[in-house]
Amino acid sequence: DAKTTQPTSMDCAEGRAANLPCNHSTISGNEYVYWYRQIHSQGPQYIIHGLKNNETNEMASLIITEDRKSSTLILPHATLRDTAVYYCIVRNTDKLIFGTGTRLQVFP
Amino acid sequence: GAGVSQSPSNKVTEKGKDVELRCDPISGHTALYWYRQRLGQGLEFLIYFQGNSAPDKSGLPSDRFSAERTGESVSTLTIQRTQQEDSAVYLCASSLVGAGGSNQPQHFGDGTRLSIL
């Protein structure tokens, strides 16, 4: 699976959009981009995934660049409960390979 | 509907004892995964079951670790002769399997926190 690079930490004001970047410059054509988050003492929570096209669901939007070498997860109106570690994963096999993720802190 | 259920949520045991951890996947999910997460670290893949296929055991750290799954339901992860280094959160995930396999998200339980004294 391709390696991903994410910032170690980010801050976001409550009510504002949180934009979490991810670089995956070595991604290959059949690899999906997945986003999970992990809130303290809980298991990882699936957020969204995509291959080429931008995706949106009730939790977030995923914007994938045309060359697929990077992506951005957007939480449109961050709340305090969105404080978590966010993992960007590039996957073409059964297992998920988690990196160190981005620690997002949402503040009042 | 119900998510992935793991039991016990916490387990404390003495070094050298055997432990058995249980995972109930989401109904209808044919794929089941076990991961381990040590304190402050990311998830490590342990083992993967898919239907009647031979499991992918490539992530098991030693022969003290084993796992079983009955059909497409419950799975148990067994650690024999536990060591202090086995202390971690053990996470189970399940998924549907679509074409290509990697297009179906894995859904995780909240894990079993194992502490070896």
117 residues of chain B, pLDDT tens digit each? 589 999 999 999 999 999 999 999 999 999 999 999 999 888 999 999 988 888 999 999 999 999 999 888 899 999 999 999 999 999 999 999 755 556 889 999 999 999 999
d(CA A27, CA A2): 5
Say yes or no for a CB contact (<8 Å) between A93 and B102: yes
| B49-75 pLDDT per residue, tens | 988 888 999 999 999 999 999 888 899
A91 pLDDT more than 60: yes
Q: Is B42 on the interface with A (CB under 8 A)?
A: yes
Q: Where are the beta strands (DSSP E) in B1-117?
A: 5-7, 10-13, 19-24, 31-37, 43-50, 65-69, 75-79, 88-95, 107-108, 112-116
pLDDT for res B36: 96
Q: Give Cα separations from B63 to A27, B82, B93 (angstroms).
A: 34, 11, 22
Segment among A16-20, A84-88, B53-57, B78-82 with least mean pLDDT: B53-57
Q: Is B23 on the interface with A (CB under 8 A)?
A: no
| A92-104 pLDDT per residue, tens | 777 888 888 999 9
d(CA B9, CA A16): 35
d(CA A96, CA B35): 9
Task: Tell me the average pLDDT of chain A.
Answer: 94
Q: Is B106 on the interface with A (CB under 8 A)?
A: yes
pLDDT for res B115: 97
Inter-chain contacts counted by CB atoms under 8 A, chains A and B: 56
Q: Is B64 on the interface with A (CB under 8 A)?
A: no
A78 pLDDT more than 80: yes
Say yes or no for a CB contact (<8 Å) between A43 and B42: no
pLDDT for res A93: 78
pLDDT for res B41: 86
Give the distance from residue A30's alpha carbon to the nearest chain B alpha carbon, in angstroms.
Answer: 9
pLDDT for res B40: 84
Query: In the block, which residue shows the tokens 């991903």?
Result: A4
Say yes or no for a CB contact (<8 Å) between A43 and B103: no
